[in-house]
């Protein structure tokens, strides 16, 4: 029986695929300690190493339902569709609130248990990152360059950064991220 790849290998091997898809959107999915599950499309984030740990840093606005769920969760998953796919689903998850609708039902997305965290993965996505929240940081509005503030924060709805240690990463469909 062949040994499965170490998650560090998958993390590095698929980093380029991930970074190519991120500006088009990926799903952050979270389940909190109250049993609420939500997903949201994000197009901002960082993948890298901090404190010697592989991490994903997700930016979530305070006004989002996902922020409320993340506050009561210890982890999240990043679910990456194959490049250029799931466009309608990403649009729905990025424009509708989980306060008002069941995004999974409306978008036809199915959840599957993750390997190492409580938050589930989205079965229709091909690349998964399971992340344990290890730090949170609010943006400091006074330190944001004025032109960026004018473009992205006209309503003063800044982001909180959730640092997630990548505790597992894997592909769930062969050949989709070649």
Count structural domains, the chain: 1
Q: What CATH code is carried by the domain that includes residue 163?
A: 2.30.110.10
Tell me, yes or no, whether 66 lies in a domain: yes
Tell me, yes or no, whether 29 lies in a domain: yes
pLDDT digits (tens, 9 = 90+) for 36-93: 999 999 999 999 899 999 999 999 988 889 999 999 999 999 999 999 899 999 999 9
Tell me, yes or no, whether 177 lies in a domain: no
Say if CB 102 and CB 65 are below 8 A apart: no
Task: Kindly list the distances between the CA atom of residue 118 and the CA atoms of 32, 133, 168, in Å, as whole numbers in the listed order.
Answer: 8, 12, 12
Global confidence as pTM: 0.88
Query: Is residue 177 over pLDDT 50?
Result: no
pLDDT digits (tens, 9 = 90+) for 121-158: 999 999 999 999 999 998 888 888 889 888 887 888 78
Instruction: Tell me the C-alpha distance between 44 and 56, whole Å.
Output: 11
Tell me, yes or no, whether 2 lies in a domain: no
Tell me, yes or no, whether 1 lies in a domain: no
Q: Which residue has the higher pLDDT, 157 or 171?
A: 171
- Domain range spanning residue 87? 7-171
Query: Is residue 5 over pLDDT 70?
Result: no
pLDDT of residue 139: 80
């Amino acid at each position: 029986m062949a040994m499965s790849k170490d998650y560090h290998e998958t993390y590095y091997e698929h980093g380029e695929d991930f970074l190519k898809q991120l500006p088009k959107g990926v799903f952050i999915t979270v389940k909190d300690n109250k049993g609420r599950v939500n997903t949201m499309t994000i197009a901002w984030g960082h993948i890298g190493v901090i404190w010697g740990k592989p991490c994903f840093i997700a930016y979530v606005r305070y006004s989002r339902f996902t922020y409320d769920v993340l506050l009561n969760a210890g982890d999240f998953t990043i679910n990456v569709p194959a490049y250029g796919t799931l466009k309608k689903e990403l649009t729905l998850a990025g424009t509708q609130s989980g306060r008002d609708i069941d995004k999974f039902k409306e978008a036809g997305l199915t959840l599957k248990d993750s390997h190492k965290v409580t938050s589930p993965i989205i079965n229709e996505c091909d690349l998964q990152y399971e992340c344990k929240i290890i730090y949170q940081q609010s943006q400091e509005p006074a330190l944001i360059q004025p032109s960026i503030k004018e473009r992205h924060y006209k309503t003063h709805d800044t982001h909180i950064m959730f640092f997630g240690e990548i505790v597992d990463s894997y592909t769930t469909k062969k050949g989709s991220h070649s």
